[in-house]
Amino acid sequence: MQHIHCLNYLKVFFLILTICSQGCRKSNVPFDAQIHIMDNGSGTGTTTWTSDRKYLLDGFVFVNDGQILTIEPGTIIQATTGQKENASALIVARGGKIIAKGTSDQPIIFTVEGDDLQGSIPLLSRGLWGGVILLGNAPLNVEGNEAHIEGIPLSEPRGVYGGNIPDDNSGVFQYVSIRHGGTNIGEGNEINGLTLGGVGHATIIDHVEIISNDDDGIEFFGGTVNTRNIVVAYCGDDAFDFDFGYQGKGQFWLAVQDPAVGDKIAEHTGGGNGVPYTLPVIYNATCIGRGTNTNKPVLEFKDNAAGKYYNSLFVSQDLGIGIEYTPYPLDSYWHLLSRNLEVSANAFFNVRKNDTLSIFYPIGVQIPTDVYALFQSYFNEKGNLIENTGIGIIGQRPQWIPLALINTGMAIYNDPWFEPVEFMGAFGDKDWTEGWTLLHEAGTLE
């Protein structure tokens, strides 16, 4: 009798195994447990997302005021597809914090549902989900020092950002890759790969990749946050966009545009009421444009915006640097005269057909002759160079490590935040994109 009972137990055991193998199908993402994340208004809470699970964002998910979301190195966060009211995104609300500290060999990855990280989603797929939005209490140049972030419906009160705290702290965002985002929530209102609204300079942001986003790579709406080691590749609009009085610093930035799509490498817009002026200060950027027959500019400054670029490389873009001239005071041309806007000690190649007299040009109507004359002389007067360093899109492969380093005629590093280096552009002989970016892993546009 005991043998019969044991035999029956074995039959039941193997029957359960058979049923599970046929009907208890695991997720198509190679992890043991899935956490489905939705937000009914209570946000994520103060919690930790761990690397032994996969997380699926479904809709707009907020880290509310007073909450802290910690994400372990190596964690994969996916998001459901969908447009308009079905869009998914992670939003750190004003007063909330995110502690996302990946590593070079264990990056934190945000991507779309179904991405097996082995090529199941084509490299240039865009607009499949939303993106990541960080909101803080740092100053804007709008009335009341508050605004509602684009990409989030106006009916959502947690979409408000801005304040009077320049050193506000929204947390840590390191070794993070954001892929295939930029969904449209309606009327051409897309979500950027990474949106920074009123984020303060106590926030740490470095080693972040935004790749194949349907809108801008990173857009800065006011705030004072500083960023370092940033990769933006193959986005549908601008690589970088600055608005509402952003005044922060950046160093070691890489922008690579898809030859088939994309607009400016960086757009600078004043917005708001003027003060504080939009005025980013950037050292050591490497910017690879779409090519020489696209009618797209490298940089554009308008609506009273300023900004400064030094020791950077700009290659393969049809137009150069457009600066708006108006008959009114405090326009971008006025900033150029006042040295709030300066593009100095940089190297260009295959920009405006290497014609140094036309790389800088005015935007506007009824522009006086003396303004044109100033632009024609500006390139050389500011120590800019025409130099082929070997970077660009070579065939279908982007090459961002220069074959020849430029280390003469560089601007000095007059702020202790910047790391002094002896080369122009974002790279010396070390490729800091290796190991954690999809750009490096993919290798080619083919």
pLDDT per residue as tens digits for the range 71-108:
999 999 999 998 777 889 999 999 999 999 999 999 99
Rounded Cα gap, residues 188 and 370, in angstroms: 39
Q: Establish if 107 belongs to a structural domain.
A: yes
Q: What is the pLDDT of residues 199-255, one digit of tens each?
A: 999 999 999 999 999 999 999 999 999 999 999 999 999 999 999 999 999 999 999
CA pseudo-torsion sign 348, 350, 352, 358: positive
378 three-state secondary structure: helix
Rounded Cα gap, residues 200 and 162, in angstroms: 9
Rounded Cα gap, residues 83 and 190, in angstroms: 9
- Which is higher by pLDDT, 446 or 48? 48
Please state whether the peptide bond connecting residue 107 to the residue before it is cis, i.e. omega within 30 degrees of 0.
no
Q: Establish if 46 belongs to a structural domain.
A: yes
Note whether 389 and 405 are within 8 A (CB).
yes
pLDDT interval class at 188 (50, 70, 90): low
Q: Establish if 419 belongs to a structural domain.
A: no
176 three-state secondary structure: strand
Rounded Cα gap, residues 90 and 69, in angstroms: 11
Q: What's the rounded mean pLDDT across residues 278-300? A: 96
- pLDDT of 341 strictly over 60: yes
Rounded Cα gap, residues 443 and 398, in angstroms: 7
Residue 340's pLDDT is 97
Q: Establish if 402 belongs to a structural domain.
A: no
Lowest mean pLDDT among 1-10, 146-155, 277-286: 1-10
- Tracing tokens 């930029």 back to the chain, one arrives at 182
- pLDDT of 33 strictly over 90: no
Q: What's the rounded mean pLDDT across residues 350-379? A: 96
Residue 27's pLDDT is 35
Q: Identify the domain containing residue 272 by its residue range.
A: 34-318+432-441
Residue 185's pLDDT is 74
Note whether 154 and 193 are within 8 A (CB).
no
Task: For residue 121, give the nearest of 88, 81, 89 by alpha carbon.
Answer: 81
Q: Establish if 48 belongs to a structural domain.
A: yes
Residue 273's pLDDT is 78
Rounded Cα gap, residues 119 and 124, in angstroms: 11
- pLDDT of 7 strictly over 60: no
The token pair at 152 is 């989030």
- pLDDT of 16 strictly over 90: no
pLDDT interval class at 187 (50, 70, 90): low
The token pair at 51 is 């690397």
Q: Which helix (H) or strand (E) holds 363?
A: strand 360-363
Q: Establish if 384 belongs to a structural domain.
A: no
Residue 41's pLDDT is 95
Q: Chain-wide mean pLDDT for the chain?
A: 91
Q: Establish if 364 belongs to a structural domain.
A: no
Q: What's the rounded mean pLDDT across residues 340-364? A: 97
Q: What's the rounded mean pLDDT across residues 10-24? A: 34
Task: For residue 195, give the nearest of 166, 178, 218 by alpha carbon.
Answer: 218
Q: Which helix (H) or strand (E) holds 343?
A: strand 341-344
Q: What's the rounded mean pLDDT across residues 148-162? A: 92
Number of folded domains that form the chain: 1
Residue 184's pLDDT is 80
Task: For residue 392, give the nearest of 446, 283, 312, 314 by alpha carbon.
Answer: 314
Rounded Cα gap, residues 389 and 170, in angstroms: 38
Q: Establish if 313 belongs to a structural domain.
A: yes
- Which is higher by pLDDT, 214 or 11? 214
Residue 85's pLDDT is 74
Task: For residue 181, give the nearest of 281, 264, 88, 271 by alpha carbon.
Answer: 88
